[in-house]
Amino acid sequence: MTQRRLGRTDLSFEPLVFGGNVFGWTLDEADTFTVLDAFVEEGFTAIDTANVYGKGKSETILGNWMKARGNRNRVLVFTKLGSEMAPGESGLTAAYMVKAVEESLKRLQTDHIDLYQSHRPDPATPQAETLEAYDRLVKAGKVRAIGASNFSAAQHAEANQISTERHLVRYNSEQPEYNLYARSSFEGALQDFCVEHEIGVIPYFSLAAGFLTGKYRSEADFGKSPRGARMGKYLDAKGKAILAAMDKVAAETGAVLAEIALAWLNAQPGITAPIASATSVEQLKSLAKGARLTLSAGQIEALTAAGR
C-alpha cells in the first residue's frame, strides 16, 4: 500500500484509519484486541479515538491493548479533546487542555499523542489561546502534531493565519463528516482550503454510520444494529440512488458496498485516509480491501453523480 503523509508532518500511514468510537460500545475489550490485532496484521497503523468516547473507556481500552502487545512505537495514536467529558470539562481553553492531555496520556498509557485534535470549534475561546497551548504541548514532547475536527474553511483560515504570524504549531489535519451521501459541509471552500494549504483530511462517518454498507434498505432493516435508528435520514431518493449506483459498481468489480465507499473517498482530492470501524475480523478484512481498491474514472463519476 502507498502511504500518505498527514499535512506537512512526518506522520505517514496507509489510507485507512480505525475508528475507536466502537471500543467499549459495540466492541468489548477482548473483541477490540482481536480486531485491532487483525488491523495491524493487515499493515495498518493509525487509530483514531477521543477522550469523550465512552467517557474515557475507548482510550483506556486502546491503552490496554498497546501495553499488552508492546506495540506503542509501531502504531499511530490520534485522539481528540473539546467535547464535554463532565460539567465544566470541555472546550479548548489553555487551562482545560493541560488537564485533558494528561488524562488522555494516562488512559492511553503513553508519553505522547501522535495527533491531538480539537474535536469541535470552541467559540468561547480565542483560537490564539488554543494554538499557544498546543504549541507548548508539542514543545514539551507530549504531542507530535495537531489537527481539527468539524472546523469550517473560515475557522481554518483564521487558525492558519494565527499560527503563521505567531510562529506557532499549525493544524495539519481536518476531520470532517464526509461520505458519498454527506458532502456539502466538506466539498467546496473547506476542501479547497485543505488542498491549497496541505491540510490532511481524515473523514469520519465514511460509511454513513453503516448505511453505505447496503445493510439498511428499508425500515425493516433498522433493527440490525445499534446504529439502525440513524438510518431513516439516509433512505430518501438520494440515498436510494447512491445504493443503486454502488450496486452497479459492485457487479462490475466484485467488491462489496463498504469497500466501494472507501475507494471513492480515497479517490477524492485532499483525502489522506478515511476513518472506519469494524466489529469483527471479517469486517476488518473487507475494510482493508476497500483501502486497496482502485475504481475506474467512470465508476467514480457515476458514484459522484448519484450523490449530488
What are the residue numbers of the active site?
53
Q: Which three cell numbers stand for residue 15?
A: 489510507
Q: What share of the chain is helix, strand, coil (3-state, %, to 5)?
A: 50, 15, 35
Which of 162, 144, 148, 234 is CA-nearest to residue 190? Answer: 148
| CB distance 30 to 61 below 8 Å | no
Give the 3-state DSSP-derived string for 133-183, with helices as H, strands as E and coil as C: HHHHHHHCCCEEEEEEECCCHHHHHHHHHHHHHHCCCCEEEEECECCCCCC
| CB distance 21 to 50 below 8 Å | yes
Count CB atoms within 10 A of the CB of residue 159.
24
Q: Which amino acid is at 145?
A: A
Cα–Cα distance between 35 and 38 in angstroms, integer?
5
Angle at 113 between CA 110 and CA 114, to 5 degrees: 130
What is each CA distance from 165 to 138, 151, 288, 297, in whole angstroms?
18, 20, 41, 41
Cα–Cα distance between 113 and 164 in angstroms, integer?
23
Q: Which three cell numbers stand for residue 60?
A: 483506556
Cα–Cα distance between 254 and 223 in angstroms, integer?
27
| CB distance 39 to 46 below 8 Å | no
Cα–Cα distance between 91 and 127 in angstroms, integer?
11
